[in-house]
Structure 1
């Protein structure tokens, strides 16, 4: 096993796992993980219908949330405002651009509307929730293009780049960093910040295979990432774009905005979170790496009954509001928010 990465970033460790979170982890380990493991062992590519997205229409949102459809030409999106949250017309200059997770294969607006509504409420900002195109119909480069178009839509509504926070979970974390990079490369300005929940940031599975969490994750078997790497590579090759896609961990980072990364302490994607935090801080970019004790992949989506998820969303709200306050005071230095409610700070490996 590879040695533990010496972090330039100083992680904040949120100690404690409630009974609810333990039950959630147990359930995922004995249901979702075996299904994913079976998929990784198939000798051919299978892409089942996105049943979970259809079923998720029944999920309730945060009380008082309202939303409307937005047509981004190549994909759909939703403009969502939690209870009491105004938009630009109401004097609220900040907005969040959100990308759902699902390994670029599944999930969508329905599965994440509930989580996004809670983030909107905690952050006191409206959210553009993007239903970007996914495999097997389109390669990841088109998912990124949809994200860039969504950012352009916010600019066209009157929002300034510096007032837009880009966020996402899992594969959406990949998009959050990729879209931020593309926006700056287009000279549209620097976004306010990036928020990534359990982010997938490196398609090369090597670092994850050698990580201490390789076999500890309650959601993903380690083989899932090699399979995803192969599937996405074949998709790129069919479109003639093999070799041109750069993962967020390998992008130029010195001019990136402040970042918040939340990860469960036993997730296999801890490898990606640590690597990105290390490279951001080494490049001089503020990064708040939050490690949550024994929490599952994107545990924030279970905020209806997992207390740690609600606390994590409060941390997201604090981060976004701090960014908004920084933009009001243009003389303020670019720093990450001060630590909020972490119960213990850790400089070394988190067990």
Structure 2
């Protein structure tokens, strides 16, 4: 039944988040606005993940390399999470489809794993300009298929991702279901990119205040990743897709980020299709603030919410099996 999404306004923005947003607006945003979008620059962006070696894992967390896929991947176990647990989070990292990876997101994913009490399979899908969006989606669907082949039940798998990975957290289940695979238990999308129409982002009230994403630069990303694609292509634009049949969804976004509009549009689209959806809007937070939780402490509370959501939707599968 069509309905309105459940929108939860999360008030409170600490000094750390305010100072971080101000710093990013004065430093990182001008750099991103001026970076050349050339093949050489994009290949350099792909090396950003190596800087992630400076990001330490939370105490008690560990990782195990996975070599069974066509792309890099690893198991991430938060502190106290058992490798024998048969519930899992399938995570796709953000980075504009061209940057970041296992290292940059390891600390946040370990925290999500601990909050959920289940391991996470972190997938470093192959990225443009070396591959097309079709290959990106293939890597993500194959990771989901591999989990099923390992004996994980679909009702025990939560798909999650941030930014570009948030896009994939919607696109992957849609393509997997089209290929005849069962739907997962739930979707958790952090500041997801969902709409290929960049003009809407440029016109959004948050465009001038986003801490580090200049909206016009998103147009370069769309041209690279989705060349020649119709902006309303239902198989590449989640906000135009037939999303009926998708599982319960949690979307988190910051109130001052330019992709808030994407999150709101996607939440309305899901609710109109009868998909249970909760949109959390966190006051004063920027894009994927959860990854900066050591500075923006509200990120820890948001991660706890993701963990609670993962436990809730997988518990529904337990009830179905017991019935």
Q: TM-score range by the shorter chain?
A: over 0.9
Match of 1:36 in 2: 32
Does the 8 Å contact 2:37/2:220 carry over to 1? no
Alpha-carbon separation, structure 2, partners of 1:291 and 1:111: 24
- How far apart, in 2, do the equivalents of 1:189 and 1:51 lie? 35
Of 254-263 and 300-309, more deviation after overlay is shown by 300-309
Give the RMSD, CA atoms, in angstroms. Answer: 1.9
Aligned to 1:246, which of 214, 217, 236? 236
Deviations 1:141-195 (A, max 9, x none): 2111100111111111110112100000000001111111122122221100000
- 1:215 is paired with a residue whose SS is coil
Structure 1 position 140 matched with structure 2 position 130: no
- Gaps of at least 5 residues in structure 1 are 1-6, 238-242, 333-351
Question: For each residue in 1:273-321, what CA deviation from the matched residue of structure 2 results, as whole angstroms up to 9, or x when unmatched?
Answer: 0100001001111111000001011110112232201000000011011
How far, CA to CA, are the matches of 1:107 and 1:218 in structure 2? 19
Partner of 2:78: 82
1:157 alignment counterpart: 150
Matched residue, 1:71: 67
Comparing 69-78 and 269-278, the one that deviates more? 69-78
Q: Which of 5, 11, 18 does residue 9 from structure 1 map onto? A: 5
TM-score, normalisation: structure 1: 0.85
User: Structure 2: any 5+ residue segments left out of the alignment?
Assistant: none
The answer to whether the aligner puts 1:112 opposite 2:108 as a matched pair is no
CA distance in 2, matches of 1:244, 1:17: 36
State the secondary structure of the residue aligned to 2:42.
coil
The 3-state SS of whatever aligns with 2:270 is: helix
1:196 aligns with 2:189: yes
Q: How many aligned positions are there?
A: 315
How far apart in 2 are the matches of 1:305 and 1:64?
A: 21
- Please give the alpha-carbon distance, in whole angstroms, between the structure 2 residues aligned to 1:244 and 1:18: 39
1:181 aligns with 2:174: yes
Q: String of CA shifts for 1:178-232, please: whole Å, max 9, x gaps.
A: 1111221222211000000011111221221222222221111121122212222
- For 1:11 and 1:30, how far apart are their aligned partners in 2? 31
* 1:324 aligned to which of 311, 314, 318: 314
CA gap 1:323/1:171 in 2 versus in 1, 3 angstroms: same
SS at match of 2:184: coil
Secondary structure of 1:11's aligned partner: strand
- The CA distance in 1 between the partners of 2:234 and 2:180, in whole Å, is 21
CA contact (8 A) 1:176 1:194 kept: yes
